[in-house]
């Protein structure tokens, strides 16, 4: 399944929605987008409920994104991680690195 990523500003949070396969084939694109999210200067809430597959490159992007965001004094939280995401995080033993958040309220402020 093709990867889709959207981002929208909601108050002091950037809401990112990722859906599809997160694997080696999309790593360069996702890494570039993740750097943009990290440079936003706000907390990031990532809805990964639509992720259908994740491999070690997905883990790599999540860890790099978390590091960049926390180094800037902000947080990264996951919303509704799909079973493939949960499984990979558990297998890697890093599920506790990622805060879980409630699904954010929709509003009119949008960025991509």
Structural domains in the chain (count): 1
Residue 52 lies inside a defined structural domain of this protein: yes
Mean model confidence pLDDT for the chain = 89
| Those residues with Cβ within 8 angstroms of residue 77's Cβ, 6 or more apart along the chain or in another chain | 43, 44, 45, 46, 98, 99, 100, 101
Does any domain span residue 25?
yes
**Considering the domain boundaries, does residue 19 fall inside one?**
yes
User: Would you say residue 63 lies in a domain?
Assistant: yes
Would 106 be classed as within a structural domain?
no
Q: Is residue 109 part of a domain?
A: no
Side by side, the strands of the sheet bearing 43-54 are 4-10, 13-22, 43-54, 76-79, 99-100
Structural domain containing residue 70: 4-100
CATH no. for residue 43? 3.30.750.24
pLDDT tens digits for range 18-52 = 999 999 988 898 888 888 898 888 999 999 999 99
Higher pLDDT, 104 or 7: 7
């Amino acid at each position: 399944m093709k990867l889709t990523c959207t981002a929208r500003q909601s108050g002091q949070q950037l809401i990112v929605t990722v859906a599809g396969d997160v694997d080696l084939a999309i790593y360069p694109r996702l890494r570039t987008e993740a750097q943009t999210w990290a440079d936003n200067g706000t907390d990031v809430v990532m809805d990964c409920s639509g992720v259908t597959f994740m491999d070690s490159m997905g883990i790599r992007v999540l860890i790099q994104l978390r590091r960049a965001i926390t180094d800037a004094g902000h947080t990264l939280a996951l919303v509704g991680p799909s079973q493939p995401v949960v499984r990979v995080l558990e297998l890697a033993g890093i599920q506790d690195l990622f805060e879980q958040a409630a699904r954010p309220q929709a509003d009119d402020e949008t960025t991509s």
